Amino acid sequence: MPAKIVSLINMKGGVGKTTLAVGLAWELAKKHRVLLVDIDPQFNATQWVVNADTYLTWLKTKHTVLNVFQPQALNQAGGGTTPPIKPTEKTAIIPVKHNGKTLHVLPSALDLMKLDAAPRGTENRLRVFLDGVKSNFDFILIDCPPTASLFSYSAFLASDAYLVPVKPDPLSVLGLPLLEKAMLDYEERSGQELLRLGLVFTQVRQTPAMEATMREVRLQYAGEVFKDTIHQTTGVAEAVEENKPLQYFDRQGKFPEVKAALTGICAEFERRVREKL
Ligand SMILES: Nc1ncnc2c1ncn2[C@@H]1O[C@H](COP(=O)(O)OP(=O)(O)OP(=O)(O)O)[C@@H](O)[C@H]1O
Ligand SMILES: [Mg+2]
């Protein structure tokens, strides 16, 4: 069966999309063939999973998601001289190993920023590329930027469903109606609907304000919010710096709750995909 493709999307920035995308991707990779697609020009997911030396070497001769959108483009920020050929699984997907598990990454690049004035039809190129590789994977996760942009729209067109990471503070949840409106716009533009797989609370702290917000969101999106939540924790920056998945970055047993949460979120994700897709 070809991969199920799920975008992680929220128009509010800094809510934990990338942290959830990377954590969930590594968790799924324990049992499945997983591709993580980074379509954010800030390439935070790429930076987390792929170490700097590997990435810089890759940029010199291989492709990034920029070439998926624009095959002839150069990754100039990395001094690249990428051949102007169509990107393939071999030239555009980096296999990364950790603890004996492999996660595949379609990396992003800063140069993606230049794509703003792309020709019509560019929004379909990610879907076409993923159509070509999806028989080799079980799950494809797309980490989106916090903008209603060409990138988010191309992720919409390429996906079977989307997942919404939500930081449950009163101001961040103001982004939810905005996201719903953006998704409606996409549905109108494309003539197709996209299933919302659910909402996941991220960067949770046990404060009265956050608990009240979580109660409200659980009421408003009844049955849609995942049971497990990702708590605010220390060490995320260090895990990123060391290119380690959060669930393996368990220095002195400091993050058992994040590890357990990711296991729970992953199981619920698999169940929802099985039942709904
Ligand atoms: N559970 C957490 N505990 C502590 N820090 C976190 C947690 N989740 C995310 N962060 C930190 O918060 C910041 C934003 O997280 P992240 O990059 O995952 O959000 P994002 O929604 O992908 O942001 P953007 O909109 O810029 O893409 C990062 O500095 C990250 O290290
Ligand atoms: Mg991000």
Ligand 1 cavity residues, CB under 6 Å: 13-19, 40, 44, 145-146, 202-203, 230, 232-233, 236-237
Q: What is the pLDDT of residue 250?
A: 67
If one counts every other C-beta atom within 10 angstroms of the C-beta of residue 190, the result is 14
> What's the mean pLDDT in 36-60?
96
The pick from 7, 11, 18 for probing ligand 1's pocket by mutation, whose C-beta has the most ligand atoms within 8 angstroms, reads 18
Distance of CA 15 from the midpoint of ligand 1 (Å):
6
Number of the ligand 1 atom closest to the C-alpha atom of 20: 18
Number of the ligand 1 atom closest to the C-alpha atom of 236: 31
How is residue 179 written in tokens?
A: 């996201």
Question: Is the pLDDT assigned to residue 213 strictly greater than 80?
Answer: yes
Residue 247 pLDDT level (bands cut at 50, 70, 90): confident
Pick 75 or 162 by higher pLDDT.
Answer: 162
Instruction: Please list, in sequence order, all residues whose beta carbon lies within 8 angstroms of the beta carbon of residue 177, skipping any fewer than 6 positions away.
Output: none
pLDDT in tens, 1-26: 999 999 999 999 999 999 999 999 99
Residue 167 pLDDT level (bands cut at 50, 70, 90): very high
Alpha-carbon gap, residue 125 to 115, rounded angstroms: 13
Question: Which residue has its alpha carbon closest to ligand 1 atom 2?
Answer: 232
pLDDT in tens, 117-157: 788 899 999 999 999 999 999 999 999 999 989 999 999 99
Paired sense of beta strands 34-38 and 139-143, if any:
parallel
Question: Is the pLDDT assigned to residue 73 strictly greater than 90?
Answer: no
Distance of CA 189 from the midpoint of ligand 1 (Å):
30
DSSP β-bridge partners for residue 204: 231
Q: What is the pLDDT of residue 64?
A: 95
In percent, how much of the chain has pLDDT > 70? 95
Question: Which residue has its alpha carbon closest to ligand 1 atom 15?
Answer: 16
Distance of CA 64 from the midpoint of ligand 2 (Å):
17
Each as own residue / partner, the long-range contacts of residues 76-80 (CB below 8 Å, 24 or more positions apart, any chain) are 76/111, 77/109, 77/110, 77/111, 78/109
> What's the mean pLDDT in 232-259?
83
Nearest to 39 by CA among 142, 118, 174, 183: 142
DSSP-based three-state secondary structure for 142: strand
Distance of CA 10 from the midpoint of ligand 2 (Å):
9
Please report which helix (H) or strand (E) contains residue 133, including its range.
helix 125-133
CATH number of the structural domain 4-276: 3.40.50.300
How is residue 17 written in tokens?
A: 């999309």
Distance of CA 105 from the midpoint of ligand 2 (Å):
15
**250 exposed, middle or buried (CB, 10 Å; 0-12, 13-18, 19+)?**
middle
Minimum-distance ligand to the CA of 239? 1
